[in-house]
């Protein structure tokens, strides 16, 4: 018997915190001046110790900032006069104030200039509220209790705003009371929708679980509010900072436990908590969990992704008009399996943050997996040599050398300083691009080289289709892995381009792929007309990709599994059309 774990969709970093963490990590990867954060970046001990390890210092006094230092203003923002002092100190300001907090500053400034008295419903000691008060000038009051309402001057027009993480019910009660007591009141509900959403979700989650575990810093205001909201529903709520604080005896023998996390909790901490919870003995039937574990094993071990690449060889043969042969499948399967595995094993530091469970798996079976990958490489070379003609063997051999060389330094050390990298892996954005090229080349050219003939527009178009589907897949996972990649200083596509532009690029790629496939098959000029059916799995892929944009916290291997299903569907359609 096991315990089921249900995770709230809006768990982990909110937009503002994610943006601030990304800004700090990007700045720390550029070594041009000592880096500080003005106050702790977020209220999360794991993230703070990580930043410390990276040499980023916390500074609280603007007058102590050294000249030429770089100072990151955290998501909470600061009063305008603090920015002014930092500027005068000669330091560079990197402003990571959350755009939503910046908007509240703008409202307050405008309203104060109109001569209105500003009431901020929030904790006067919270850094965000302190910053907001700085934008208001003198006529301002932070209100965190009904008693404080007596301090509001009765003869002035009043503007009410909220601390962005304020409890919705408290805000409504206070603003109603202000409206009742004073005549000229305008109210701006500036509570962030991320906070609304989290609090609403906790209430809903509480209805279907036996207990809720809330993950986040003990001094994180929004995490503590989530605990309050959960407790108000009557469900047992436990506030923990990491998986080490889970008390097994309290949760043992429950059926379902809910998990949510504050806006400053990184995904890898949530993943570790969920991993540990799933191991606790519960009251649920274990059948579905075994299926889920089997699915996770297929994804973690790279067997599922390799199968997806294998299935695309059916599509490749169909588009190029070749007779399918089983070695094509095995070669694509083996190549993608071994290359992904070897590259991931050499990239274990980033996996620690992007996917702690996968790291545990690799650490446990790493040696066996490496040996297995090497055996697989030998086997596919054997297949290519003895079951196909000589050219695919040569091509595969070159692809294996390039794939293995991806992680090895090949640039002479005297050049490294000039060009900035020693391995292909270190070229910014190379992972996304090289992975897509690797998929496209193996899936398209192994069948083509086996059958020979003139290289035509058909081969090029098939390569483009395979390249694009692999690009969409890799770029989507790179988006998900931004946090871990930034921590270890990797420069993937989304890190080079930024999140917004990467989302746009992925969206445009999906659009281009759909139009390209439609035109080339509908005209039946290059692809067979039935290739139009592939648009259905591509549409399914697009839906998943867009869903992952709006919910960056897809726990475990669901996203990977469901995205790869799109390639299996394409393969089955091709199989059906061919036979």
Binding residues (CB under 6 A) for ligand SF4: these are 14-17, 75, 98, 100-101, 164-165, 192, 194-195, 263
Return d(Cα 111, Cα 161) in angstroms, integer. 10
Cβ pair 489, 421 in contact under 8 A? no
Residue 6 parent element (H or E): strand 4-7
Find the shortest distance in angstroms from Cβ 128 to ligand SF4.
7
Find the shortest distance in angstroms from Cβ 481 to ligand SF4.
21
Q: Residues with catalytic annotation?
A: 128
Find the shortest distance in angstroms from Cβ 52 to ligand SF4.
22
Find the shortest distance in angstroms from Cβ 167 to ligand SF4.
13
Q: Which is nearer to ligand SF4, 265 or 316 (CB)?
A: 265
Find the shortest distance in angstroms from Cβ 222 to ligand SF4.
6
What are the strands of the beta sheet with 140-143, ordered from one edge?
A: 140-143, 117-121, 158-162, 185-187
Q: Which is nearer to ligand SF4, 194 or 313 (CB)?
A: 194
Return d(Cα 162, Cα 171) in angstroms, integer. 7
Return d(Cα 407, Cα 554) in angstroms, integer. 28
Return d(Cα 178, Cα 172) in angstroms, integer. 10
Cβ pair 540, 569 in contact under 8 A? yes
Q: Which is nearer to ligand SF4, 144 or 355 (CB)?
A: 144
| Both structure tokens of 16 | 């503002």
Return d(Cα 482, Cα 476) in angstroms, integer. 10
Nearest residue (beta carbon) to ligand SF4:
16
Q: Which is nearer to ligand SF4, 100 or 458 (CB)?
A: 100
Q: Which is nearer to ligand SF4, 7 or 98 (CB)?
A: 98
Cβ pair 344, 369 in contact under 8 A? no
Find the shortest distance in angstroms from Cβ 101 to ligand SF4.
5
Find the shortest distance in angstroms from Cβ 544 to ligand SF4.
24
Residue 26 parent element (H or E): helix 15-29
Q: How many CA atoms lie within 13 A of 573 on its CB side?
A: 20
Return d(Cα 112, Cα 118) in angstroms, integer. 7
Q: Which is nearer to ligand SF4, 100 or 359 (CB)?
A: 100
Q: Which is nearer to ligand SF4, 15 or 496 (CB)?
A: 15
DSSP code, position 64: G
Nearest to 558 by CA among 292, 287, 290: 292
Return d(Cα 568, Cα 163) in angstroms, integer. 48
Nearest to 563 by CA among 478, 459, 464: 478
Return d(Cα 344, Cα 485) in angstroms, integer. 12
Cβ pair 161, 109 in contact under 8 A? no
Find the shortest distance in angstroms from Cβ 7 to ligand SF4.
19
Q: Which is nearer to ligand SF4, 82 or 542 (CB)?
A: 82
Return d(Cα 216, Cα 213) in angstroms, integer. 10
| Both structure tokens of 446 | 């192994």
Q: Which is nearer to ligand SF4, 263 or 308 (CB)?
A: 263
Find the shortest distance in angstroms from Cβ 362 to ligand SF4.
33
What are the strands of the beta sheet with 211-215, ordered from one edge?
A: 4-7, 256-261, 211-215, 236-240
DSSP string, 174-207: HHHHHHHH-SSEEE-----HHHHHHHHHHHHHHH
Find the shortest distance in angstroms from Cβ 85 to ligand SF4.
23
Burial letters 170-191, b for 16+ CB under 10 A, else e = bbbebbeebeeebeebebeebb
| Both structure tokens of 146 | 């009904």
Q: Which is nearer to ligand SF4, 165 or 271 (CB)?
A: 165
Residue 12 parent element (H or E): none
Residue with structure tokens 């104060």?
112
Is residue 334 classed exposed, middle or buried when 0-12, 13-18 and 19+ CB atoms within 10 A define those classes? buried
């Amino acid at each position: 018997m096991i315990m089921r774990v249900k995770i709230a969709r809006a768990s982990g970093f909110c937009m503002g915190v994610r943006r601030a963490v990304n800004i700090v990590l990007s700045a720390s990867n550029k070594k041009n001046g000592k880096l500080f954060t003005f106050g702790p970046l977020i209220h999360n001990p794991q993230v703070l110790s990580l930043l410390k390890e990276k040499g980023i210092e916390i500074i609280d006094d603007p007058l102590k900032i050294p000249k030429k230092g770089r100072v990151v203003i955290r998501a909470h923002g600061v009063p305008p006069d603090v920015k002014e002092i930092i500027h005068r100190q000669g330091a560079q300001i990197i402003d990571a104030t959350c755009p939503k907090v910046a908007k509240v500053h703008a409202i307050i400034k405008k309203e104060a200039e109109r001569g209105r008295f500003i009431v901020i419903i929030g904790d006067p000691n919270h850094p965000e509220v302190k910053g907001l008060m700085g934008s208001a000038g003198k006529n301002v009051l932070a209100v965190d209790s009904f008693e404080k309402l007596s301090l509001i001057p009765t003869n002035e027009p009043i503007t009410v705003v909220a601390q962005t993480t304020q409890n919705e019910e408290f805000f409504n009660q206070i603003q109603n009371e202000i409206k009742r007591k004073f005549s000229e009141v305008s109210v701006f509900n500036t509570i962030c929708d991320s906070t609304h959403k989290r609090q609403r979700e906790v209430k809903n989650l509480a209805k279907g679980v036996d207990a809720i575990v809330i993950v986040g810093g003990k001094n994180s205001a929004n995490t503590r509010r989530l605990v309050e909201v959960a407790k108000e529903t009557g469900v047992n709520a436990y506030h923990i900072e990491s998986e080490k604080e889970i008390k097994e005896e309290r949760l043992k023998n429950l059926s379902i436990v809910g998990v949510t996390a504050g806006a400053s909790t990184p995904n890898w901490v949530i993943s570790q908590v969920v991993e540990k919870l799933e191991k606790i003995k519960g009251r649920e039937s274990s059948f579905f969990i075994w299926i889920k574990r089997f699915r996770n094993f297929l994804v973690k071990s790279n067997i599922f992704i390799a199968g997806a690449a294998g299935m695309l060889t059916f599509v490749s043969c169909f588009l190029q008009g070749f007779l399918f042969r089983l070695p094509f499948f095995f070669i694509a399967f083996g190549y993608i399996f071994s290359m992904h595995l070897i590259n991931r094993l050499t990239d274990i530091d980033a996996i620690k943050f992007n996917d702690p469970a996968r790291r545990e798996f690799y650490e446990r079976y790493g040696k066996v997996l490496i040996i297995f990958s090497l055996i697989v490489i030998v086997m596919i070379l054997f297949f290519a040599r003895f079951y196909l003609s000589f050219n695919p063997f040569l091509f595969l051999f070159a692809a294996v050398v390039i794939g293995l060389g991806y992680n090895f330094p090949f640039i002479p050390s005297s050049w490294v300083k000039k060009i900035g990298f020693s391995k292909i892996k270190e070229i910014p954005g190379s992972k996304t691009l090289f992975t897509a090229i690797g998929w496209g080349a193996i899936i398209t050219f192994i069948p083509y080289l086996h059958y020979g003939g003139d290289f035509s527009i058909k081969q090029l178009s098939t390569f483009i289709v395979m390249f694009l589907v692999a690009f969409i897949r890799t770029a989507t996972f790179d988006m998900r892995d931004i946090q871990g990649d930034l921590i270890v200083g990797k420069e993937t596509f989304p890190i080079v381009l930024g999140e917004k532009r990467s989302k746009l690029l992925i969206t445009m790629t999906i659009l281009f792929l759909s139009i390209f496939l439609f035109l080339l098959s509908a005209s039946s000029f290059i692809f067979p007309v039935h290739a139009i059916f592939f648009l259905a799995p591509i549409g399914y892929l697009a839906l998943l990709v867009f869903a992952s944009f709006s919910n960056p916290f897809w726990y475990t291997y669901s996203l990977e599994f469901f995205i790869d299903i799109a390639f299996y569907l394409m393969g089955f359609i091709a199989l059906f059309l061919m036979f």
